[in-house]
Chain A
Amino acid sequence: MSHDLLQMHLKAVISCLVIVLYKVHTTKAGQFFSSGHTNNWAVLVCTSRFWFNYRHVANTLSVYRSVKRLGIPDSHIVLMLADDMACNYRNPKPATVFSHKNMELNVYGDDVEVDYRGYEVTVENFLRVLTGRLPPSTPRSKRLLSDDRSNILIYLTGHGGNGFLKFQDSEEISNMELADAFEQMWQKRRYNELLFIIDTCQGASMYERFYSPNLMALASSQVGEDSLSHQPDLGIGVHLMDKYTFYLLEFLEEVHPASQANMNDLFKVCPQSQCVSTPGHRTDLFQRDPGSVLITDFFGSVRKVEITKDTINLTSPVEPPIKRSGSSDIQIESLTYVDQLPVAEIIHQKPKQKDWHPPDGFILGLWTLILLVFFQTYGIKHLKHIF
């Protein structure tokens, strides 16, 4: 009987082990398939103009750099920089934007594509990019072509206040407008999950009014607090980065595409002892538990690969068309170059045909006056001489 008991115990232990292992396997597999997104997009915006706001451009470029490094391609990143710092005439090292003093890290790099630059970074363009309501001739690189399975990262930086963010020193976007824009995106199913990060003064006020589902927000400071800049570089003469984004960049430099770091680690970035301001976050609108959301769900572009064992037959390539035979006769008369400055032709050029315009109001009025005077002086019976 003790032998049976032992066997029963052994069976129980083995089944427990199997169940535990199966659970672990399903949670890992479950995690793999539970995120629900198939593509990643990023919208990175710097809203400040002028040389002394160098740090905002450096902030945006460091997030751009991390996002590119973790796998999101340029075609899926909409980068908006309100002013040019790298080739600014005040930059002692042109074509560079540094994030660390003593010029340790050039976040601008050699392979950067800015989609909206200079005067194009306006509130209207930002909201149009988010909601997708762009004029039909907008090129693809300037559009956010996300669908309902896209995870989008939105990063804003600049000067802000309680409930607003300043764009280019001339206009501002309010937290209500931003919340409405996200609601429009939700109703048009333009995102699966959205991570919103803002690094401005009183940044938490910008996410107070959100009401759409699947939004997670992070800010560098609470209402009533200022976000501070990190360190100046005496060679360049300006502050290089803001504190929150500096520590965010340090955190992201350790993340690699296969990393398992989750959102709870991101919330711990830059505590008050380092940042002086208190970073805040908002997860009540987010459906998943932040502990199960990987950093690479938003910052990276991890593709799911399905391995198949079936063979696929490729169709034969399109044959290039044979050299044109009949076209040579048509083209013989046009194989000449034009004179670059045909002086005689220019002097004797006929004046351009002016388009006919209907007579202007002034001319019409003048003629009416003349006719009226005529008929007043000579009477109406003279009309028959005319008609």
Chain B
Amino acid sequence: FRFPSPIGHISTCPSLIGQCCKTHPGSFQEELVIRPLHSGDIYASFQFRTLWDTDFLQEGQKVSHYRLFPKSLGQVLSKFSVRELHISFTQGFWRTMQWGQPFIPSPPGAELWVWFHDTVSDVDGNWKELTNVLSGIFCASLNFIDLTNTVQPSASFKPLGLGNATDHRFLRYATLPREIVCTENLTPWKKLLPCGSKAGLAVLMKSEKLFHSSFHSQAVHIRPICQQCSSKAWELRQTLNVVFDLHTSGQGKKEWSLFKMFSRTLTEACPLASSSKVYVDITDNPEGELFELSPATPLLGQAVVLGDRRTYSVYDLSRAETFGQLRSFNLLLRWKGDSGDMLRPLLHAERYVAGFGLQTGEIHTVIYNNHPYRAFPVLLMDSVPWYLQLYIHTLTVTSKSRDNKPSYIHYQPAKDRHRPHLLEMLIQLPPHSMTEVTVQFERALLKWTEYTPDPNHGFYVGSSVVSALVPSMVAMRTNFTQDQPLFSSFVPVKEESSYFVRVYTEPLLVNLPTPDFSMPYNVICLTCTVVAVGYGSFYNLLTRTFQVDEPSPPLSKRLANLIRRMRGVPLLT
């Protein structure tokens, strides 16, 4: 059930935007960040932020007028008393060693984590209904999220929005690593934007180009934030990260333009947006010796993001001169020289399954700390499905070939068909080292109805999450201001010397022992044949009797006998 976006407002209210905003509090900002990567690929990150100064859960206030904030999400938030909602759909895997850190990380497949309000009495019931409603909104099979793949992390995934109470009974986390992302997920995502895909930066989102990429991730983040920390507001962030490959999309030429990446150019900013900007990362190109950027712009911006101070060329789409004579804005980056080596990211993680055969195996998670002299703690969260039975007594954590005892371990064992394994550990990583976490497991036999229609593909195990406060090279800003670009103001910063980063490992694909599904049919056929042949012969032996039966004589003999009888002569036999 989709609601049409309020496009009517564009024609009626462009000149009254200032007046509109006074009576209807809220604002919409959109931005696009383009970051050329060292491997020749290009990383584009869209962020759309809708702010709404209202409180859904206040008593006596019924929200019925939605302007910029989409009604479908607003109703979901108030019905299920959701405090924070983070959902992401990703196709592909983010290669940290080649591409650096993304602005907002996400694991392959679908990931959903939600903080509920303390007033909720039945969190599991609300969680189940919420996943069903979201599966309808985003056209994804989120209804497969149930208690067998939901966990309650005890230390990871602290709320990113306002709040001081962090009782982990109100947090739920689930991933679906098998979830496919395609145009049917992008269509409803685009419909949540105030301008839809008709104006502004969202016109660039053409599925044929977006899905022909190495990495595609779209996410929705809803949380309460404070504006200048005097009033509370709801923030809806929609982010779309895409990495275009040099060889498949770029045809091997190190020359990128908006038209080449998205097959569209920009013609106008979204009229409902209070700010609409395009940022291009030119930190590696201060004098223009690496690549050439056109059209040139005098606006420059600096932002501290991911522990580094980066310089950006800013294009403001709300100004008419950005579009030039042709009323169309097409950015062009042409490479002149070869870029050197990239700085190694400070935190990196990998995961794989070791062992052979279909009975046992071993999961290895490897975490790299590439900082030359600083050690820092990381929180590793592993959620393993119940059909891989972990042997926690074989858990070993080694750094630099010595045992490294974690300062905090939380393990919740799995219950067959009810609950997955949850393992959370706080590990101190020594500087410039590799830490390996291994645990052995045994594969379970599933009931024959629990296998998917294609069981020989294998079964997925969701990514591990490594959360860390990484020491930063540059002082981070601890308070957010209005004019800060969106990509640098997502994670709240508490202290200047470190920044929070979350790294996802690869999901695992393990083969479970699969039965031959034609066996029931074979067994029935064979058994029935054996029984029929055996019982049939036995029955015949017992009940069959033999009688002598004279055959009836042929017609000629019968006629001859008739004539002989008439003559009175003895008959033929």
* Residue positions of A touching B, CB distance < 8 A: 49-50, 74-75, 84, 86-87, 93-96, 108-115, 117-120, 135, 137-142, 168-170, 318, 320-321, 324, 327-328, 331, 333-343, 346-347, 349, 352
Contacts and interface: CB of A to CB of B under 8 A. Distances in A.
A337 B180 contact: no
A121 to B, nearest CB: 9
A350 to B, nearest CB: 11
A94 B180 contact: no
Contacts of A95: 182-183, 207-208, 210-212
Nearest to B23: A320
B128 interface: yes
Given A49-B453, A337-B162, A87 B182 contact: yes
A220 to B, nearest CB: 24
Contact of B24 (A109, A114, A320, A352): A320
A324 B183 CA distance: 41
B377 A120 contact: no
Nearest to A117: B141
A352 B154 contact: yes
Contacts of A170: 453, 517
Nearest to A118: B141
Nearest to A87: B182
Contacts of B151: none
Contacts of A75: 1-2
A346 B469 CA distance: 14
Contacts of B181: 87
A135 to B, nearest CB: 8
A211 to B, nearest CB: 31
A99 to B, nearest CB: 16
B136 A142 contact: yes
Contacts of B230: 328, 335
Contact of A341 (B180, B453, B469, B517): B469
Contacts of A343: 377, 426, 469
B24 to A, nearest CB: 7
Contacts of B231: 328
A112 B144 CA distance: 21
B143 interface: yes
B133 A137 contact: yes
B467 interface: yes
Q: On chain B, which size bracket covers the interface?
A: 35 or more
Contact of B136 (A141, A324, A342, A347): A141
Nearest to B132: A137
A277 B426 CA distance: 67
A306 to B, nearest CB: 23
Interface in B202-235: 206-208, 210-212, 226, 229-232
Contact of A74 (B2, B23, B379, B492): B2
Given A87-B180, A334-B164, A119 B452 contact: yes
B475 interface: no
Interface stretch (B57-65, B236-244, B337-345, B519-527): B57-65
Contacts of A119: 141, 144, 452-453
B158 A338 contact: yes
B260 to A, nearest CB: 16
Contact of B212 (A94, A113, A114, A140): A94
A109 B133 CA distance: 25
Given A75-B2, A137-B129, A339-B494, 19 more contacts: A50-B454, A84-B182, A87-B180, A87-B181, A95-B182, A109-B183, A115-B136, A118-B141, A141-B139, A333-B164, A334-B163, A335-B162, A337-B492, A338-B492, A341-B500, A343-B377, A346-B379, A349-B408, A352-B154
Contact of B184 (A114, A318, A352): A114
Contacts of A335: 162, 226, 229-230, 232
Contacts of B135: 139, 142
A341 B331 CA distance: 39
Q: In the A-B complex, list the 7 residue pairs whose CB atoms are closest, starting with the nearest.
A: A139-B136, A337-B492, A87-B182, A137-B132, A140-B1, A95-B211, A170-B453
11 contacts: A50-B454, A87-B91, A93-B208, A95-B211, A135-B132, A141-B1, A324-B55, A338-B164, A340-B469, A340-B500, A341-B377
B474 interface: no
A360 to B, nearest CB: 14
Report whether over half of chain A's contact residues are helix, strand or loop; otherwise say mixed: loop
Interface string B490-506: 01101000001000000
A279 to B, nearest CB: 30
B468 interface: yes
A321 B56 CA distance: 13
A170 B166 CA distance: 45
A113 B500 contact: no
Contacts of A139: 1, 132-133, 135-137
B212 A341 contact: no
A111 B182 CA distance: 11
A288 to B, nearest CB: 31
A138 B132 contact: yes
Given A87-B91, A95-B210, A119-B452, A111 B187 contact: yes
Interface string B399-433: 00000000110000000000000000010000000
A118 to B, nearest CB: 6
Contacts of B154: 349, 352
B492 A340 contact: yes
Contact of B183 (A110, A168, A328, A338): A110
A342 B156 CA distance: 10
Nearest to B480: A337
B208 A94 contact: yes
A314 to B, nearest CB: 16
A54 to B, nearest CB: 14
B155 interface: yes
Nearest to A339: B494
A113 B190 CA distance: 12
A133 to B, nearest CB: 16
A112 B212 contact: no
A327 B1 contact: no
Nearest to A74: B2
A338 B494 CA distance: 8
Contacts of B407: 347
B188 interface: yes
Given A117-B139, A331-B232, A338 B166 contact: yes
B335 to A, nearest CB: 26
